[in-house]
Structure 1
């Protein structure tokens, strides 16, 4: 474990505030909310460093464990490190990987979303990975599934009452299969109505897993506050670790550090057995929010003798890759091998992604070929990840070769991957040809499919075509939701129209009443900061907070950069950071010192 922690932590000489008391609990389910960790999302990088802990503190920790403060494992002000991590332009790099879901972003329009049967589309809080995969392989829609799918959005209860009145019986297997199908198609609103009907009608005697599933659906449809309130309604005998692990996963999905840490500690207070899942959740959270905190989780795992899972290693590989610490990433892989863990296709794809994004073609190519060899007798699903990577490497022949494998009978996600790949190759005509095929083949597409093509236009600065596609999408009846807003914001920004992007987002929020994706704000704030536009940088900073997203270290990095580029002092910045429990590291402290040089003195006022 010590070797893993050394290989997996990206900082040096940080003093961490760790309070003594209790530690966490048991969770043993896959975290599908994270999505496929080998996916293509973030390219922001930080530079990696080792951490050395003040290990003498361990002597004062009681045997009962360690408590993570709800204020976070915050670094002490002025803690030493190389400071290179703040060379990223935005500082809050990876929050675009997974966005919190608001009630308004989920409706039963999701029943029309194209699904090609991939496991990565699932979000099952209570199922084991192997069981979910087994169900997925054998699952076919039942008559009950069809009845619920075809019911009007708010009439699921009536459809179910009719189903039972016609003499149909419901077994637990029927219910599990139906719920699986609803989740598979992301019909969370109808799934919640189904679960409520089961509980109210007495058709199913709820166990802990059923209550956990119900809690998860409430979180997705009605919000996390309602989900937390629902826990009090669960009978004490069923208010176990499955319930709390589900709540924890949803807070992690929402990037709510304070609440996630509260649940994390509450699980230990309730004396649940300690397993890897809760630690993995916090690693995922800190990977997105503040990678400096990862080392503390690994230290806690070592203290509690919690053995990392293969998925734990994937999180650490991804964190090191996102930090542009390739040697550290490779050390994590070496540790995996030393533990006898075989690198599966997911892990190979993850490594390949970071080699590609790091510009290391020579290292990426053997991994890409190894991925194809490992999967040579299996399905062709890696194509959807390999296509964009080959596109990023500007390897047109490889893109064409893989697309020819898929083209005769492609899944929709293979089509989207090919569109991304051809977009990276600037072959817009080929990307458009495939997208036209998608539109004609799958009559109702989700916003993620349209946003993919809009982003291709944005990368090529084709503003007019992007706007035309948004209009086409609206005419087709597809919702103009925050994912599309994000694509349009980036479309304007890539065309150099930052103010228009800002205006568009403001109007969209006002018209539709939905919460923008964090990354939409991030994009605007980064570009305003580059221009030294302090007024608009502060405005976006305020909107981030107003929208309910947590304020953290990276946002202050960007804000400070705006003041630096404007060559103007930022009075009270340190106090603002302290109020948000954000502590500058060496690099940010250096930038704050630079801002001090812009301060006006009494003499300089006279000279002016």
Structure 2
């Protein structure tokens, strides 16, 4: 299954000292100074090498040693949490579960979805690709309620909820008019609300369902509500809600739902705790839970990926296509294209076909690694010989051909879409023309969207706004933001990020900082982590320690737990300012972070007590 035992020196023939304590039902043997605890999952011998032949097809050959610590949470977050940065743009972190500071304010915008003014946030009106798989189906909420797409689009209850000033008003009127309100009706309305990211209203619908007492709730109802609470009110409230769920319904689906939200929030410590709780409750390990850990560590600590793979092998958890996709992407980000190809071969050996999403990831990394011929071959495979018959690949092909600088190919793909364009294809075309510096073509696609749809989403506006930002067209960007506001489209985190970049690219960092500060003060939606880092990195380049520290503090007030990338940027500010940094190691330790090689080198540079030839003479 794993194609691992074929290696000449298998794991069982090497003295790696790796054991799965939970699976074996024994206590972990802990080194001196560590707390013995039966919840420990993995024990890794110091000699464990990621260059092991058993894992050379999967992750980081010859790239150091395992550093799992043995503390209460098993998969320990003590090791240096390295973030490559590529995921930060999409992350939405929360405060630690133990410190519920501002957990309600984190996603206040979603609560506002049910306000009397009926206003809709940016996330709520964003387009949803018709081919996108429902997250509820992945989590197991709605697996027994799959319906055809056309049926989903005809939810009368959903339309009533959208039209009403509040969810409760819509439901009371619905019942008063003696309309049928079956579980299927409620499921369909919830599905439509989720697909449009209207989580606040979906939560109000769930709360009304329980309050009305008309229906007997089942595990998937509790899991769905838990998921909505995590998205709207934060992890702390979601964790508290689990304790209120009747024990008979507190099953594996509930906990894996919470795990997925911890991973989405980037909360390593809490995700590890939830995973270990699932082990304590003796839920069998699933590919879903292991994939969540792989996703978490891909973003925050790549050194731990091999440990998850060891656990999957030991527990005979079969890797899915998503498992392979994560490993391929991780290899690609490490610029290990040979290793990436080996994973693809292993995937094919298991009889798993590469879908277009995985192929797009491959092509992206081939382009970044300079292997353009390989990238072109993958793109041709995605087209399948007949692009019209493989229309679903167009929105992926457009930006990839642009990365290759293939103007004619972008034109050809867009011509297939142009007669009856889909929203995601238009956004992809704008992005592609922007990468090719063809601003007029990008504007033409945007104008086509404006004529096709009565009201554009913030995602669609932001696509063109990014083009203006990347081409340093500040005035056009300002005009587009004004047009966006005039259209009634509410500006949220995605647009704030693009506006900040627009001003930063134009050299107006202070103005960008002011805009971000005002956006955060609104307490409507939480600015993205990456947006803060964009400005903080600019201050670091200048050696502006005061403003870099201020951004660091504001990120914490917004609910973001400290990450190694923040300290890297902050330390660089001190280095560029040629100023010593006092107590930086202690600050990192307080945030449960440990320096990686790059940060350790920075700490040496800013150490106020470091020895020099002159200081040695004076001493």
Give the TM bin, normalised by the shorter chain. Answer: 0.7 to 0.9
Structure 1 window deviating more from structure 2 (591-600 vs 346-355): it is 591-600
Partner in structure 1 of residue 92 of structure 2 = 99
Question: Are residues 2 and 339 of structure 1, via their aligned partners in 2, closer, same or farther at CA, if it must alter by over 3 Å?
Answer: closer
1:132 Cα deviation after fit: 7.8
Structure 2 counterpart SS, 1:227: helix
> Hey, what does 2:229 align to over in structure 1?
218
Aligned to 2:565: 554
- The separation in 1 between residues aligned to 2:273 and 2:338, in whole angstroms, is 34
Deviations 1:75-114 (CA, angstroms, capped at 9, x unpaired): 59xxxxxxxx9xxxx9544211333484233243159725
State how far apart, in whole Å, the 1-side matches of 2:277 and 2:5 are. 27
Q: C-alpha separation between the residues in 2 aligned to 1:434 and 1:21?
A: 59
Which residues of structure 2 form unaligned runs of 5+? 8-15, 19-29, 42-58, 95-105, 114-119
Deviation at 1:422, TM superposition (A): 0.6
Alignment of 1:151 onto 2:164: yes
Superposition deviation, residue 489 in structure 1: 0.8
Instruction: Indicate the SS of the match to 1:272.
Output: coil
C-alpha deviation, 1:130, in angstroms = 7.7
Q: Provide the C-alpha distance between the structure 2 equivalents of 1:508 and 1:501, rounded to a whole number of angstroms.
A: 11
Change (3 A) 1:100 1:579: closer
Cα separation, partners in 2 of 1:309 and 1:137, compared to 1, 3 Å: farther
Cα drift, residue 311 of structure 1: 0.7
Which stretch of the first structure deviates more once superposed, 539-548 or 485-494? 539-548
What TM-score do the two structures reach when normalised by structure 1? 0.83
Match of 1:139 in 2: 152
Match of 2:77 among 69, 72, 76: 72
Matched, 1:194 2:211: no
CA–CA distance in structure 2, aligned partners of residues 258 and 131 of structure 1: 33
Following the alignment from structure 1 to structure 2, what is the Cα–Cα distance between the partners of residues 377 and 504? Answer: 44
The number of equivalent residue pairs is 557
Cα distance in structure 2, aligned partners of 1:74 and 1:321: 23
Task: Give yes or no for contact 2:141–2:224 (8 Å, CA) kept in 1.
Answer: no
Conserved? CA contact 2:575–2:605, under 8 Å: yes
The residue aligned with 2:398 is 387
Answer yes or no: is the 8 Å Cα contact 2:40–2:75 preserved in 1. no
Structure ranking higher on relative contact order (CA contacts 8 Å, 6+ apart): 1
Q: How does 1:171-190 map to 2 (within 5 A)?
A: 171-190=182-201
| Offset of residue 237 of structure 1 | 0.6
Corresponding residue for residue 118 of structure 1 = 130
1:568 aligns with 2:579: yes
**Correspondence 1:318 to 2:325:** no
Give the C-alpha shift of residue 415 in structure 1: 0.6
Unaligned stretches of 5+ in structure 1? 7-12, 25-46, 77-84
Alignment of 1:498-537 (within 5 A): 498-511=509-522, 514-537=525-548
CA contact (8 A) 2:142 2:220 kept: no
Aligned-partner SS, 1:559? helix
Q: TM-score, normalised by structure 2?
A: 0.81
The Cα of 1:70 is off from its aligned counterpart by 7.2
What is the deviation of 1:52? 5.9
Cα-to-partner distance string for 1:584-603 (whole Å, 9 max, x where unaligned):
23343233333348958796
Question: Contact 1:22/1:67 (CA < 8 Å) preserved in 2?
Answer: yes
For residue 261 of structure 1, what is the aligned residue in structure 2? 272
Partner of 2:62 in structure 1? 50
Alpha-carbon shift at residue 420 of structure 1 (Å)? 0.5
Contact 1:73 / 1:296 at 8 angstroms: preserved in 2? no
Taking the aligned partners of 2:132 and 2:587, their CA distance within structure 1 comes to 40
Give how far 1:367 is off.
Answer: 0.5
1:441 corresponds in structure 2 to 452
Q: Which residue of 2 aligns with 1:591?
A: 602
Which deviates more from structure 2 when the two are superposed, residues 171-180 or residues 326-335?
171-180
Q: Residues 91 and 555 of structure 1 are in contact (CA less than 8 Å); yes or no, is this contact kept in structure 2?
A: no
Aligned-residue offset at 1:187: 2.2
Report matched runs for 1:185-584 at 5 Å.
Answer: 185-373=196-384, 376=387, 378-511=389-522, 514-584=525-595
Distance in structure 2 (CA, Å) of the matches to 1:123 and 1:208: 16
